[in-house]
Structure 1
Amino acid sequence: MSQEVITKDDLEKLRRALIEDIKILIRSSEKDNDEWLRCADVRKLLKVSTGTIQNLRISGKLKSNKVGGIHLYRRSDVENMILGKGK
């Protein structure tokens, strides 16, 4: 069985590579950065009730992401729905 020895230099190269990869990921996510809205924010924006938001979500007209029991909506999705650019 062959064994490899990992040196401090190897670990330092790995660390630098990981940092560069993280920087690239952060830069790409900043380009796609979109504000996330809670239900209350969407209600105020659309001037509708909580039930209407729920109906829009259930019908698929407004996409949400559920995080820890809270539905979050992308501002761009809400705006596209208002403009009729949704699905």
Structure 2
Amino acid sequence: MQLEILTEADLQKFKIELFDELKKMNTGIYVASDHRKWLRSAEVRQLLKISAGTLQNLRINRTLPFKKVGSICYYAYADIEKLMGEGGEL
């Protein structure tokens, strides 16, 4: 059995490759192909490219329906698609 020695440089290279792969997997996570039924506020803000204040205004004006579980707001993906299809600009 042959013994392989790992150097610190090998570990650094592995770390960089691992993070690159994780970044690739993470990009586009909230695009239409995701099809999750419910999204959290941060996910909605990223998908719509809006600020927390704008999302709050959408809730207050009842433009975007939501469900609150404890202190977390959840938004139906179908409602977000409907909102994006209606008016374009937010």
Q: Which one has a larger percent helix, Structure 1 or Structure 2? A: 1
Q: Which residue identity is paired with 2:60?
A: I
Q: Deviations over 1:29-78 (max 9, x none)?
A: xxxxx610000000000000011000001001000000011100000001
Instruction: Describe the SS at the equivalent of 1:63.
Output: coil
Three-state SS of the structure 2 residue aligned to 1:84 is: helix
Structure 1: tracts of 5 or more residues without a match: 1-33
Choose from 69, 83, 86 the match for 2:85. 83
Q: 2:62 aligns with which of 56, 60, 64?
A: 60
Which runs of 4 or more aligned residues in structure 1 lie more than 6 Å from their structure 2 counterparts after TM superposition? none
- Give ranges in structure 2 of 5+ residues lacking alignment: 1-35
Structure with larger Rg: 1
Q: Normalising by structure 2, what TM-score? A: 0.55
2:80, 2:61 → 1: CA distance?
A: 14
Quote the RMSD (CA, aligned, Å).
1.8
- Sequence identity (%): 48
